[in-house]
Amino acid sequence: MGKLRVGILGGTGMVGQRFISLLENHPWFEVVAVAASPRSAGKTYEEAVGARWKMATPMPENVKKLIVMNVNDVAEVSKKVDFVFSAVDMTKDEIKAIEEAYAKAETPVVSNNSAHRWTPDVPMLVPELNPEHLEVIEAQKKRLGTKRGFIVVKPNCSIQSYTPALHALREFGPKLVVATTYQAISGAGKNFADWPEMVDNVIPYIGGEEEKSEQEPLRIWGKVENGQIVKADGPVITTQCIRVPVTDGHTAAVFVNFEKKPTKEQILKAWAEFKGIPQELNLPSAPKQFIKYFEEDNRPQAKLDRDYENGMGICLGRLREDTVFDYKFVGLSHNTVRGAAGGGVLTAELLKAQGYITEK
């Protein structure tokens, strides 16, 4: 079997670059098309990105000479690929329209964008947590009038640092969650060179982030009814989201009350044993141990631990009882790997393994 042919929409931006670096030598997927804005179209990928390559590893040789296509030439891009990853930088309405256009051109879309996260028949997936939501794809295809085209999205990067930890404890009924996230600058698509104001600084506001952090876990925990995803009623989640001078890695300080308070040993056992379909299927990008708990008081740390399991694992620490809440703990996830492009790649692997994405 040959590799599936992949296109990257918005391939010149930071998340697009991360997709390209993660897909180098991927066993199932091969990047054959890169699409971006009209100003980049017609240039080689190397020329279009120029000095803006932000990954720690060099630009893969196999993409340097690819001619960047106009992302609006939906039919032309679709001819070349079996499916696309979407990381386009447009308005929400423009993203909605262009992703639906690709789906209607019978090209499945795995999106890193937020535009379709609340479209009722579009799954918003963390592959280990809610793979059953993929069943709404059939209803979505009926709405779009497609045979193989559809859209699947991944959730906001901020929630990955604490939602898997809470998901693993659902048998105990988390009912109230307070989380403060300390988010890396790459979450804004920047590094210190283009955001010098972040050096020696903390900004206590990230537009739209708190609403996403409070609501998106409820959609992940929602249920499928009549071809739509109905969000869960609880737990109640309140958050603050703060930008901190860290290159990569979102940290969360979490407080939680339960319906049935577990012991510390029960919590640690649930975290250690938690796995999902990606682990059972041994998907190429799946972390072997999804959740890792550190006993040391000063871990997890973004600089030391964000690359755990190639950036696809979740790191937890400092679990202890609290004087107001039942428990508190600290979480960490890599925001541009697990929280963005890596989560998208793992989603595509699950879609392939379950027969949703095939060769055209």
| Mean pLDDT for all residues in the chain | 97
CA nearest neighbour of 350 among 155, 145, 154, 118: 154
Residue 156: band (very low, low, confident or very high) from pLDDT cuts 50, 70, 90: very high
Q: What is the pLDDT of residues 179-230, one digit of tens each?
A: 999 999 999 989 999 999 999 999 999 999 999 999 999 999 999 999 999 9
From the centroid of its chain, how far is CA 200? 28
pLDDT above 80 for 1:
no
232-263 exposure pattern, b = at least 16 Cβ within 10 A, e = fewer: eeebebebbbebbbbbbbbbbbbbbbbeeebe
Which phi and psi angles does 208 have, rounded to 5°?
75, -10
Active site residue 133: no
Strand pairing class (69-70; 29-36): parallel
Residue 167: band (very low, low, confident or very high) from pLDDT cuts 50, 70, 90: very high
SS3 256: strand
Q: Which of 116, 133, 167, 250 is catalytic?
A: 250
Residue 204 carries which side chain, given as an amino acid letter? P
- Residue 164: predicted pLDDT: 98
Average pLDDT over residues 93-103: 97
Q: Which of 157, 241, 315, 334 is catalytic?
A: 157
Average pLDDT over residues 101-125: 97
Q: What is the pLDDT of residues 226-265, one digit of tens each?
A: 999 999 999 999 999 999 999 999 999 999 999 999 999 9
SS3 191: coil
110-136 exposure pattern, b = at least 16 Cβ within 10 A, e = fewer: bbbbbbbbebbbbbbbbbbbbbebbeb
Active site residue 315: no
- Residue 2: predicted pLDDT: 87
Question: What percentage of the chain reaches a pLDDT higher than 90?
Answer: 99
Average pLDDT over residues 315-340: 97
